[in-house]
Structure 1
Amino acid sequence: MSSSHTEASPLALLKEHWGHTAFRPGQAEIIDSVLRGHDTLALLPTGGGKSICFQVPALARPGICIVVSPLIALMKDQVDNLRKRGLKAEAIYAGMSHQEIDHALDNCVYGRSVKFLYVSPERLLTELFQVRAAKMNVGLLAVDEAHCLSQWGYDFRPPYLRIAELRDKLPPGTPVIALTATATAQVQADIVEKLKFGPGAGVFRQSFARPKLSYSVLHTEDKLRRLLEVVRGVGPNKTGIVYARTRRQTEDTAAFLQQHRFAAAAYHAGLPADKRTKVQQDWIADKVRLIVATNAFGMGIDKPDVRLVAHLDAPDTLEAYYQEAGRAGRDGQYAFAVLLAGPADADELRRRSSQSFPPLDTVKRVYQALANYSSTAVGGGELAAFDFDLQQFAETYRIKAVDAHNSLKILQREGFVQLNEAVNQPARVHLIMSHQDLYAFQVANAQHDQLIKALLRLHGGELFVDFQTISENSLATHLRRSVVEVRQQLRYLHTAGILHYQPKQEAPQAMFTTPRFDAPKLPLDQVKMTAARDLARAKTHAVGQYLGGSRCRQILLLTYFDEADLARCGVCDVCLTDKKAAQAAAQAVSLREPLLQQVHQTTPTPRELLAAFPPAQAAAVTAAVRELVDRGELAYAADGRLVLAAQ
């Protein structure tokens, strides 16, 4: 990064690299705190522009910014966006080869102008990372999704607890910025404590209120029909996300919407990577208007014009719901977050919460099965990622899929296992021989000459500098060979030390985050597990209150996040219902005298009375008549006509 960055103002950097002429509310104050060298906690609502709050000060400060992030898809998305803006960034996460990690760290140490290094939390304290980090000129440590380091949060990740240890290995005075969109007061205090914030630390909190996002809970016995009404109400050409709990549900719902002539598509981890990519790209390009997805979809996707986020089932926590619903209306225009609730949903929530804590022996059995599945010996396997298919795993070891899933979640929360979402990672190649040695190899090994020439023709000399993304299919077409043959040849060249080859990856992955234990001796902390179960129950109860609540939906959410001085939003289903009732009541009051006069003059039947007023006033007329009868001012005669009570 050129020295001019450290001399430019934050606003100039924002304009230069992002094209914006002003910061969003709260961003400038957060950036100023970081530039003053203060530890900083930034709480911004979903879509509030958190990444700018560390990316701009990182450019304004000398040195590299280490960014800790728990989600591979989010890391890849941010790294790709930075590179598109001409900013050099690297990432280290599960599934990368040792050579790729080594090369990325070398780039950060030896001055290839890398400004951002994204790293997953479990990689922070490996010996390889620590040795290289000590050689880096680190100017800022950013902790994204910081709620993950609090056991009181909804997505606790034990490796996050060790981030503070990294601070001791960084240059003295290196500030930390922690960022999150979902944190209760208890979680905020935990973040500040666990990251060992110093004196003068700043805590900046934007209200989590979204004034133009209308939250609604719609109770129904036919969710698909009600969804159809909602989608039609929002408009046929509007963009939306429909969240479903299962893969089957996404496909069935997308098919239902297609039958009713909506451009809809299903998205879930079970789809082939190229299909997932196409569905996502078509949705971003507005070729698909409605994407029906599991909750794996949406993180890191910047599509500001989403008008509707609908949930067919309530998420397990209000934090998750707030994040997912918040993907609507990021452009600041009116949008809708609709949660469809069935008669048995509250009971189903409690059942799922109870299921999420299987017996201890089941958890240990799943741990042993995972060791068998990955062929990992006792004492080995730490941070070695492997492809993982939950359904295949459960069937192979005759474990109920729900028990396998929940046991793995417990093992992850206890810090023994890490599950990573499916991310489409193309094949990568890096030539590690010099030009001269490579030419000599080609002359001596004619059978590999064509492939090497094709690589150089398609990807150029950059292959000697860094890992480059390649298409095995394009190579196969170019060489008129099968993809299988190309992959076999690339593996041979990798083994022979000619190049580093990282095959294409598109499956979910898992790994042991500690050396593998003997399953019967797995040191599970039952006190912590009991506390986690109690916390899960409390969070389930909060979701149930939201489903059945009769208060303003936004107030219910903001109260959960400990916001005070709350005003009604005026746009949720509860506020709109109350507003209509108030308007009807006011209208009924204004109609009393005209109604009494009409009855005095004509003694009409109820139908004749309604016909005497505009159709738009029918509900108000009915309400006013009912009130006047209740108050004894009107009465029904024997023939059913309305009369003044005194008559």
Structure 2
Amino acid sequence: MPTDDILLVLRQNWGHQAFRPMQEDIIRSVLAGQDTLALLPTGGGKSICFQVPALARPGLCLVVSPLIALMKDQVENLRKRGIKAEAVYSGMSHQEIDQTLDNCVYGPVKFLYVSPERLLTDMFRARVGRMKVSLLAVDEAHCLSQWGYDFRPPYLQIAALRELLPGVPVIALTATATEQVKLDIVEKLRFGPGHRVFQQSFARPNLSYSALPTEDKLRRLLEVVRGVGADKTSIVYARTRRQTEDTAAYLQQHGLKAAAYHAGLPSDQRTRTQQDWMENRIRCIVATNAFGMGIDKPDVRLVVHLEAPDNLEAYYQEAGRAGRDEKYAFAVLLHGPNDADELRRRTQQTYPPLDTVRRVYQALANFSRTAVGGGELVAFDFDIQQFAETYRIKALDAHNSLRTLAREGFVQLNEAVNTPARVHIPIDHHDLYRFQVANEQHDKLIKSLLRFNGGELFSGFQRISENSLAQHLKLSVLDVRKTLLFLHRSGIIQYQPRQESPQALFTTPRYDADKLPLDQKRLLQARDLARDKTEAVIRYAAGGRCRQQLLLEYFGELDAPACKVCDFCLAEKKARQAPAPAADLRQQLLTLLKATPQTPREVLTHFAPGQATAVTEQLRELVEMGELKYAPDGRLG
């Protein structure tokens, strides 16, 4: 395909005039039908690499993605550009998934985003072979590898999916992968001969990395934020919800426009806070690590971590949210005297004993009232604090056991994601009209639904605003919801209420907890790998070398030059420019002036401005001691 054609796709849909480095080569590889692995840094434009070739050819692009929030953001962004996109993920009803998949078989859908645990369900397998799939995109491809920092066993089902899609090329994308992970991705996805691997350097020349030791993190944070500029956009990452709120309050007390952001806040508040930050009404957002995924704000000047992440992959991704506009930016890790020991302890706790994991699995089954053999992919509201209190499990044991179960592919946990209410009208226009005539009391609401959403309600689920309907009809939101539920039960509409609670689900039919097939060998291997990754973080914080070199070597770039902008490189530069000790300076002056007599003003040009006082003082002493003498022309020699 000529360059002009794919550039036209880019310009028409995104308004960009040119591709970023490597994007065009990746796109051409995909269009040539080659299996392709693309490693691009955070903010490097990964999504363009599969979206452009998908739009440049007939058929549907199937995108596997692990994060509901990220899926929803990408679908929303595509729809805003007039591109038909759908998503299938946990929390959707059976009818909604059924309708969405039918739209992909029979309708003009270009992109279908799907979470990995949905890939081999009977409903999905029955449809995917009838879809005209032209490209399979695997986002966050490091999740395929047991050597990666976020291994997810459901991702291994993608290889079986390829058997249902013979001849369909695959593009796998990630921002972070070691050499071992890259090889694992190629093997697990069964890349064919002639596959291509594209990798940009992980170097970020515009990003200054620092790791600052401190015993008072809040005070040091305030200094860092003010040093970069209180009016500049920043992200501060904290480990706990409480820490985000306490830190934001501290910054506010010192006059900064700061706010906390975490999954425990009401959905409306999270949305408002994020919007205020995007539009610069808030300059500093203090958040847990989920914040930032899928958010396109290129002018972040500073990212600070109050605690070290568990691995350098996570740190690189989170720190990399600074300076996406390629202007100078800062990534700062604050670490205290006990942080290394605390990080090691936390890593150890992440892998609880198997009997604890089984106990938590059984408690989850009781909590959700799920019988053995049932519950597969049926989402339920889940409050982990209430869960731990109800079953008298330590909160940390509950959290880490659930993480283990999620990593092993037995459960899935979804943080609160604001999902608007959705409605679909499954009956035809004539039947709907007859119902309206016979049920006058519901006529106004049905007309309002059609007024706001039009005929698309008949072809699939559409978002609705219960608040807007209530205002339009001069009813309470509660009354609107009651009427929608009545219409749902009557078979007139299919109604999915607004969802904003955290949810959980079993990704397999529920096991008897005693027979849960936990792979002890794999869990021990994962624990040892996590320990190695923890030690890499500790070495990074300790420093002693260029920070960027340490990061690049971790990702397999062994010959990178020093960055010259991290805290270590700047300290080295400063040391080289620092005043020489008196004895050294004395010898430098004697050597210089014996070779070439010069005036004191000429002598000063050979030294840094900060050394002027010391040089002048040494010249005076050398003259007084008779080691240097003035010539008639004012030169010393």
Matches of 1:494 and 1:582, distance apart in 2: 75
Counterpart in the other structure of 2:519? 525
SS of alignment partner, residue 313 of structure 1? coil
**Match for residue 103 of structure 1 among 86, 99, 109:** 99
- Whether 2:551 is the aligned partner of 1:557: answer yes
The offset of 1:15, in angstroms, is 1.3
Amino acid at match of 2:252: Q
* Aligned counterparts of 2:271 and 2:611: Cα–Cα separation in 1: 52
Q: Does structure 2 conserve the Cα–Cα contact (< 8 Å) formed by 1:584 and 1:619?
A: no
Cα offset, 1:217, TM superposition: 0.3
Tell me what 2:417 maps to.
423
Q: Is the 8 A contact 1:6 1:60 kept in 2?
A: no
* Deviation of 1:392 (Å): 1.5
Q: CA RMSD in A?
A: 2.5
Cα deviation code 1:591-621 (max 9, x no counterpart): 5369889xxxxxxxxxxxxxxxx99626994
1:383-532 correspondence to structure 2 within 5 Å = 383-532=377-526
Whether the aligned pair in 1 keeps the contact of 2:579 and 2:610 (CA below 8 Å) is no
The aligned counterpart of 2:197 is 203
Deviates more, 1:307-316 or 1:453-462: 453-462
Q: Deviations over 1:543-582 (max 9, x none)?
A: 1111112110001101111112210000000000001011
- SS in structure 2 at match of 1:215: strand
CA distance in structure 2 between the aligned counterparts of 1:407 and 1:271, rounded to whole angstroms: 24
Could you tell me which residue of structure 2 aligns to residue 17 of structure 1?
13
Counterpart-to-counterpart distance in 2, 1:475 and 1:252:
38
For residue 71 of structure 1, the aligned residue among 26, 47, 67 is 67
Matched residue type, 1:56: V
| Residue correspondence of structure 1 range 140-289 to structure 2 within 5 A | 140-170=135-165, 172-289=166-283
Q: CA deviation at 1:260?
A: 1.3
Q: For residue 351 of structure 1, what is the aligned residue in structure 2?
A: 345
**Using a 3 Å threshold, how does the CA distance of structure 1 residues 429 and 643 change in structure 2: closer, same or farther?**
farther
Distance 1:592 1:326, change over 3 A: same
Distance 1:338 1:28, change over 3 A: same
Amino acid of the structure 2 residue aligned with 1:58: A
Name the CA distance, whole Å, in 2 between partners of 1:617 and 1:209. 33
Partner residue, 2:330: 336
Residue 39 of structure 2 is matched in structure 1 by 43
State which drifts further: 456-465 or 326-335: 456-465
Structure 2 partner of 1:129: 124
Equivalent pair of 2:39/2:199 in contact (CA under 8 Å)? yes
Instruction: Tell me the residue number matched to 1:573.
Output: 567
Cα offset for 1:588?
A: 7.6
SS in 2 for 1:66: strand
In the alignment, does 2:311 pair up with 1:321? no
Unaligned runs of 5+ in 2: 592-606, 628-637
Contact preservation (8 Å) 1:143, 1:179: yes
Secondary structure at the counterpart of residue 437 of structure 1 = helix
SS at match of 1:168: helix
1:339: Cα distance to partner?
Answer: 0.5
Indicate yes or no: 2:57 matched with 1:93: no
- The change in CA–CA distance for 1:518 and 1:643 in structure 2 (over 3 A counts) is farther
CA distance in 2, matches of 1:620, 1:565: 41
Q: Match for residue 299 of structure 2?
A: 305
Q: CA deviation at 1:387?
A: 1.5
Report the AA paired with residue 302 of structure 2.
L
Aligned to 2:324, the other structure's residue is in SS state coil
| Contact 2:578/2:611, CA 8 A, preserved across alignment | no
Offset of residue 177 of structure 1: 0.4
Q: Measure the CA separation in 2 of the matches of 1:275 and 1:345.
A: 32
Q: Which residue of 2 aligns with 1:293?
A: 287
For residues 559 and 585 of structure 1, the distance between their equivalents in structure 2, rounded to whole angstroms, comes to: 33
Shift of 1:448: 2.1
Q: How far apart in 2 are the matches of 1:105 and 1:589? A: 81
Deviates more, 1:571-580 or 1:480-489: 480-489
CA change 1:619–1:261 in 2 (3 A) is farther
Q: Give the superposition deviation at 1:358.
A: 1.1
Aligned twin of 2:76: 80
The question of 1:58 aligning with 2:54 is answered yes
Letter in 2 for 1:127: D
Contact 2:577–2:608 (CA under 8 A) maintained in structure 1? no
- How far apart in 2 are the matches of 1:420 and 1:620? 63
**In 2: Cα distance, 1:644 partner to 1:561 partner:** 60
Q: Is the 8 A contact 1:584 1:620 kept in 2?
A: no
1:485 deviates by 2.3
> In percent, how many aligned pairs have the same letter?
72
Q: Is the CA contact 1:284–1:303 (under 8 Å) kept in the aligned structure 2?
A: yes
Q: Matches of 1:643 and 1:514 in 2, distance apart? A: 89
Contact kept in structure 2, 1:92 and 1:101, CA below 8 Å: yes
Secondary structure of the corresponding residue to residue 248 of structure 1: helix
SS at match of 1:142: strand
CA distance in 2, matches of 1:330, 1:157: 28
Name the amino acid aligned to 1:271: L
Q: CA deviation at 1:372?
A: 1.1
Deviation at 1:12, TM superposition (A): 1.5
Distance verdict in 2 for CA 1:344–1:37, change over 3 Å: same
User: Is contact 1:587–1:620 with CA below 8 Å preserved after alignment?
Assistant: no
Query: Per-residue CA shift, 1:388-433, capped at 9, x if unaligned?
Result: 1111211111111111110011101111111122211110111122
| Residue 617 (structure 1) aligned with residue 613 (structure 2) | no
CA contact (8 A) 1:6 1:62 kept: no
* In structure 2, C-alpha distance between the alignment counterparts of 1:480 and 1:28, rounded to whole Å: 53
Any idea what the Cα deviations from partners look like across 1:329-368, whole Å, max 9, x if unmatched? Answer: 0001000000011111001100101111111111111101
CA distance in 1, matches of 2:414, 2:310: 19
**Contact 1:588/1:620 (8 A) holds in 2:** no
Distance 1:619 1:404, change over 3 A: farther
Contact 1:241 1:290 in 2 (8 A): yes
Scaled by the length of structure 1, the TM-score of the pair is 0.90
Whether the 8 Å CA contact 1:72–1:421 is kept in 2: the answer is: no
Alpha-carbon distance in structure 1 between the residues aligned to 2:486 and 2:340 = 56
Q: What letter is aligned with 2:141?
A: A
Between Structure 1 and Structure 2, how many residues are aligned? Answer: 611
Q: Which amino acid aligns with 1:131?
A: A
Q: Unaligned regions of 5+ residues in structure 1, if any?
A: 598-613, 629-633, 636-641
Q: CA deviation at 1:167?
A: 0.8
Q: 2: CA distance between counterparts of 1:580 and 1:176?
A: 49
